[in-house]
Amino acid sequence: MPADPLHTVFAANLNLPLESITEELAYRGVPQWDSISHMALVAALENRYQVMLETQDVLGLSSVASARAILRKYGVTP
């Protein structure tokens, strides 16, 4: 089964193995999800899905599941 594209973005930008990415993976639970990788993650999501997140969504992006929900607001189905 092909990897979930959103999980692939998280794995690449948090420098984590793809198999460790779950919907529950959250900012507070992972040392590698620091303020620099958060910026990398937002940049990667915006580039991949051709959106520009509002500031409140940049701040609200705190788990894989929340990223999926936020992207849906922009009409993207990740």
Partner 1 sequence: MDSLALDVTAAPPPPAALAPLAWRARVAWLRRHRLAGSTLTFVPYAPAFAQPLLELRNRPHNQFNLAQDAPLTPEQQRAWSEAYAARDNDLCWIVLTAGGEFAGATRLYDIDGDAGRAEKGGLVLREELARGTPLALESELMLLHLACRWLGLARIVTSVRPENTKMCSINDRLGFRPAGETTLRGRRYLRAELAAAGFDPAPLLPILRHWKTRHAR
Q: Where along the sequence are the contacts to partner 1 (CB under 8 A)?
A: 15, 31-40, 43, 46-47, 52, 55, 58-59
Q: Name the residue nearer to partner 1 (CB basis): 58 or 76.
A: 58
- The full length of the chain comes to 78
Classify burial at 43, counting beta carbons within 10 Å of its beta carbon; exposed 0-12, middle 13-18, buried 19 or more.
exposed
Name the residue nearer to partner 1 (CB basis): 55 or 77. 55
Q: Which is nearer to partner 1, 7 or 57 (CB)?
A: 57
* Closest C-alpha to 66, from 28, 40, 36: 28
In the complex, least distance from residue 1 CB atom to partner 1, rounded to whole angstroms: 30
